[in-house]
Chains A and B, each alone.
Chain A
Amino acid sequence: MAGTYTLPKLPYAYDALEPSISREIMELHHSKHHQAYVTNLNKALEASAATLSEGKLHDSAAQLSAIRFNGGGHINHSLFWENLAPASSPDADIAASAPGLLAAIDATWGSLEQFQAAFGAALLGIQGSGWGWLVREAATGQLRIVTLANQEAVVVGDTPVLGVDMWEHAYYLLYKNDKATYVKNIWQVVNWKTCETRFAGQRDDAFKVLKTQVSI
């Protein structure tokens, strides 16, 4: 029997990221939006497996779009919560928490500020819903900024280091149509310790949060 995925607990309180991200946003985002991805992922996986076992490949394959969308939603949000931290946390201090990553960022973009400007421009350039990621490329080990539409998950091979949700539900209640300020304020609540661990570790380790939720 296939396992089902469950909503991961947040490693901080809903209001812990204020004032950068409001309690109301975090609560809806986690308990409603993320939960819906988990619920719909489980439904799609179950329907896909059930129809396949009946020999109906056509019906099973029809679930792939929902698996990709909701699976991506579950993966992306799970990674996102972990790469955020309260501004007061020592984990939000890049110099103290992520010396290796900071050196790589400096080497790649010249400075943290220039990286943040490039990342911010990429985030604001997304047309519609989507995510921006700092990833470590598998082939080269290089850092790279990528944007992905809707709930596409970080491409095969690349290790996700830092993800920022650019769906309107991630910021709208607080920032409305001023997404530039959301992009500016998100830097206050980045968990650089998580980013450093992902950057230094194996790709699979970045996704550990997902494995622990499978209940057989």
Chain B
Amino acid sequence: MPIRMPTTTARTAGLAVRGAMGARPASAAGALTFARGKATLPDLSYDYGALEPHISGKIMEIHHKGHHQTYVTNLNNTIEALGEAKEKGDTFKAAAMAPALNFNGGGHVNHSLFWENLAPANKDGGGEPEGALKKAIERDFGSFDTLKTQINTALAGIQGSGWAWLAKDKTAGTLQVITRPNQDPVTGNYVPLMGIDAWEHAYYLQYQNKKAEYFKAIWNVINWKKVGERLDKA
């Protein structure tokens, strides 16, 4: 049966393809499950223009239909090549797929999580965390404002392409701000709760070199309800 990311490791993702083969169609809720052995581009739960003026419709459209689709396509190509290598017993070729699996698998996972932790400002986007999430943030960061400052500092400090995440440290039980370069997924001891894409393609058409303005604006469209749900399950 389909395995839900992000607990799926790169290794088991390959196995999930075999297991899911012909099993059942993609569930609408499971953006990160494999449908008939293939990763698929998840639908957005809002229109491309719904995050304006904070993220333009043009950015959203290219980001989703162009960039994310490319990660999905290349992830499927990689997994197929991995399967062929396995059938031939070619360990060398299988190992050579690791960078592409990490990059495209990570790109698919990261974007899928990202779309879900965004929402239009007039719906679930913006505002402040509530409930258990609010308590955990205040416990670990002192205040919501401190958390935002920490994340913005982390985003600004990324040298090149990458992501910043609010994550739960599984062993410590605390929330942490972490960054990942390029498309490295959040794995291991961390459960990703909320991600912000700091690749230039995420903001350049609207903000150009003024990335600090993008990092400031994105708080208006963070879906804290979704982030809270992730914490409940983490």
- Could you tell me which A residues sit within 8 Å of B by CB distance? 28, 32-33, 36, 65, 69, 127-130, 149-151, 167-169, 172-173, 176-177
By the criterion CB–CB under 8 Å, are B201 and A168 in contact?
yes
Q: List 19 A-B contacts (CB under 8 A).
A: A28-B208, A32-B209, A127-B182, A128-B181, A129-B160, A130-B160, A150-B160, A168-B161, A168-B200, A168-B201, A169-B200, A169-B204, A169-B208, A169-B209, A173-B208, A176-B66, A176-B205, A177-B66, A177-B70
- Identify the B interface with A (CB < 8 A): 62, 66-67, 70, 99, 103, 159-162, 181-183, 199-201, 204-205, 208-209
CA distance A36 to B66 in the complex (A): 29
- Asked whether B62 lies within 8 Å of A32 as measured between CB atoms, the reply is no
Asked whether, in the complex, the Cβ of B209 is within 8 Å of the Cβ of A150, the reply is no
Q: A36 to B210: give the CA distance in the assembly, Å.
A: 11
CB < 8 Å: which of A33, A65, A177 contacts B201?
Answer: A177
A150 vs B160: C-alpha distance in the bound complex, in angstroms?
5
Residues on A with C-beta less than 8 A from B205 are 172-173, 176
Complex CA–CA separation, A173 to B207 (angstroms): 11
Q: Would you call A36 and B159 a contact (CB within 8 A)? A: no
Judging by beta carbons under 8 Å apart, are A176 and B62 in contact? yes
Q: Which residue of B lies closest to A170 (CB)?
A: B200
Bound-complex Cα distance A209 to B183 (A): 34
User: Whole-angstrom distance from the CB of B183 to the nearest CB of chain A?
Assistant: 7
Q: Is the CB of B161 within 8 A of A177?
A: no
Instruction: Determine if A151 and B182 form an interchain contact, defined as CB atoms under 8 angstroms apart.
Output: no
Residue of B nearest to A29 (CB): B209
Which A residues touch B199, using CB under 8 A? Answer: 128, 168
Of the candidates A129, A149, A167, the one having the most CB atoms from chain B within 10 angstroms of its own CB is A129
Taking CB atoms, residues of chain A closer than 8 Å to B181 are: 128
Specify the chain A residue showing the minimal Cβ separation from B102: A127
Query: Which residues of A lie under 8 Å from residue B162 when comparing CB positions?
Result: 128
Find out whether the CB atom of A128 lies under 8 angstroms from the CB atom of B183: yes
A128 and B209 contact, CB distance less than 8 A: no
Say whether, besides A127-B99, A169-B200, A36 and B209 are in contact (CB < 8 Å): yes
Given known A-B contacts A28-B209, A168-B200, A69 and B70 have beta carbons under 8 A apart? no
- Contact check: which of A28, A128, A168, A177 meets B182 at CB < 8 Å? A128
Taking A127-B183, A173-B205 as known contacts, 20 extra A-B pairs with beta carbons closer than 8 A to each other, sorted by chain A number, are A28-B208, A32-B208, A127-B99, A127-B182, A128-B160, A128-B182, A128-B183, A128-B199, A129-B160, A129-B161, A167-B160, A167-B200, A168-B200, A168-B201, A169-B208, A169-B209, A172-B204, A173-B204, A173-B208, A177-B70
A177 vs B62: C-alpha distance when bound (angstroms):
7
Min CB gap A168→B, angstroms: 4
Shortest CB–CB separation between residue A17 and chain B, in angstroms? 18
The answer to whether B159 touches A69, judged by C-beta atoms less than 8 angstroms apart, is yes
| Docked complex Cα distance between A128 and B99 (Å) | 12
**A128-B181, A168-B200 given; A149·B160 CB < 8 A:** yes
Q: Which residues of B contact A149 (CB under 8 A)?
A: 160
**Known A127-B103, A177-B67: A172·B201 in contact at CB below 8 Å:** yes
- Shortest CB-to-CB span from A25 to chain B, Å, is 10
CB neighbours (8 Å) of B200 from chain A are: 129, 167-169, 172
With A32-B209, A128-B161 as known contacts, state yes or no: A168 contacts B204, CB within 8 Å.
Answer: yes
Please name all residues of chain B whose beta carbon is closer than 8 Å to the beta carbon of A128 when the two chains form the complex.
160-162, 181-183, 199
A36: chain B residues within 8 A (beta carbon): 209
Residue of A nearest to B103 (CB): A127
Min distance, Cβ A130 to any Cβ of chain B, angstroms = 7
| Complex: chain A residue closest to B99, CB-CB | A127
Assembled-state Cα–Cα distance A75/B200 (Å): 21
Taken together as a complex, chains A and B put the C-alpha atoms of A149 and B62 apart, in Å, by 24
Q: Whole-angstrom distance between the alpha carbons of A128 and B158 in the complex?
A: 12
Chain B residues with CB under 8 Å of A127's CB are 99, 103, 182-183
Using Cβ atoms and an 8 Å threshold, which residues of chain A touch B160?
128-130, 149-151, 167
Shortest Cβ distance from residue A30 to the other chain B in the assembled complex, whole angstroms: 11
Given contacts A128-B183, A176-B66, A177-B67, contact A65 B159 (CB under 8 A): yes
